[in-house]
Structure 1
């Protein structure tokens, strides 16, 4: 059986677009809250518990709360949290962002963020949600949300990602190569020309491609690692400032970069690159 999700995909927000929106709306000061055991705080109706029954150790068991591995658990969890958040009175000068059990408060006022965080914490506890104090971040300029470090009004590639890429050994198998490419793909908006740099490695990872690690691949590997090491922080677009839109086209592909300039300093707002595919290569 084949399920056609194309119509759903047309209206479903792209995660990269959502992160771009967050990047444009992020403020100066931040606070991140994390719900503790969020899924296990959601009870399953007694008449539905038999659907989650399993046998282990010669005995039959069932879940009374949403289990971690159930395919719809994140959806149910996210929707229930969103319903409760809709009834919280969000201050006008504070933005609230929510992803499943992660919450980000951001504002240009440190005091406003602190007051909103205290208010939201009390409200969530009143609604039956517990917070994980070990994962609370801020108040301050720099926090990590959805894998991206928000530092003031900029977004920064996490140092843990950079370090992990730098210590990655030269790949000798397809699985290792796929792991390396998987680490880099999400961060393309921080790294100019990344798609072109990785083209020899992507070509080698194609289905049915014989493993032939040669000089081209050997050169591309450290070049990609260096590009990650040199990745710049992304700023927030200000329509009142002059901007430069840079487009580059090579025999390997194309890309663009949006830069905003003040005096002699230019800050990237967003970067993207893509290689030619199929007939495009001709």
Structure 2
């Protein structure tokens, strides 16, 4: 716990985006506080992929090393806490936490991620991030040439199928209800021998998070090695919206090319503001946010 209550920047969220932003700011001697509740969305994921130099490393190991490196910069501090509210004040912002602490900063960076809304399917949540995945770029290679399912419907299912069909020819779409596809999309599926099953799913049978069978409401079951799912999500933190940040129709915090939100002094990076959900993208966007916040300070103070 830090005794200091006033900072140049408060970063809410201390995983890949938040730590990356903190490193950029720490290297510019900015006084930074990272507030993190310790619940990254990929906490069940055993391996991170498609991140050069870190391919196959556990996400938790990447975050642990990143935190150790960032905290070597003496102007960066880290508290394990949950930010619960924020308000605009005369010289910046005040963030209140679950432990009844209040911190003030001139600028904010939200690296808070998103919360996936799990379907009410027994066994689904236990597999999420392990063998029930969202991204072919992050996990698809590991399921190449294997029996693969896609739990989705409509445009999301069609988009995922187009990406995954390059990795396996054993692909089945599970709409878990009436299919919603255009005639030309159905023809595309048929041309590639992609079966569409509309029967509702009741359970995922797995072994420690690794899918074995999908069980349907009619009692049938089908074996799979991996399953993609397009899930709805919500913002992990409602503080950006409460401060007036615009949320897009897709549910992301709206940012410009420099990770700046629609509220002056507030930036966002990582999964909360990008559909490209990966560790590599989070690190990149956090680095940009940190650099742009420092740029604002330079322009204001020089």
Range into which the TM-score falls when normalised by the shorter chain:
under 0.3
Structure with the larger helix share:
1
The TM-score, its normalising length taken from structure 1, stands at 0.24
The TM-score, its normalising length taken from structure 2, stands at 0.23
